[in-house]
Copies of this chain bind each other. A is one copy, B any other.
Amino acid sequence: MVSRQQTESGTTARTGVEAVTKQRGRPRSFDRETALEKAILAFWEHGYEATSVSDLTRVMGIGAPSLYAAFGDKRSLFDEVVRVYGTRYGSFGERALAEEPTARAAVERMLREAAAEYTAPGRPHGCLVIHAATNCTSPEVEEDLRERRNANIAAFESRMKAGIAAGELPAGTDAAALARHTGAIVQGMSQQARDGATREQLEALAALAMAVWPDSSANPARSRTEAG
Contacts and interface: CB of A to CB of B under 8 A. Distances in A.
B172 A183 contact: no
Contacts of A205: 177, 180-181, 184
A156 to B, nearest CB: 12
B135 A48 contact: yes
A6 interface: no
B212 A211 contact: yes
Contacts of A46: 135, 137
A192 B184 CA distance: 7
B204 A172 contact: no
B180 A187 contact: no
A147 to B, nearest CB: 9
Given A47-B135, A187-B192, A214 B221 contact: yes
B221 A218 contact: no
A223 interface: yes
Band of interface residues on A: 35 or more
A51 to B, nearest CB: 8
Interface string A178-215: 10110111111101101111000110110111011110
Interface stretch (A19-27, A58-66, A126-134): A126-134
A190 to B, nearest CB: 9
Contact of A204 (B153, B177, B189, B202): B177
Given A131-B134, A184-B189, A188-B186, A174 B223 contact: yes
A172 B211 contact: no
Given A50-B137, A177-B223, 11 more contacts: A46-B137, A134-B194, A170-B219, A174-B222, A180-B192, A180-B205, A183-B192, A184-B205, A187-B191, A211-B212, A214-B220
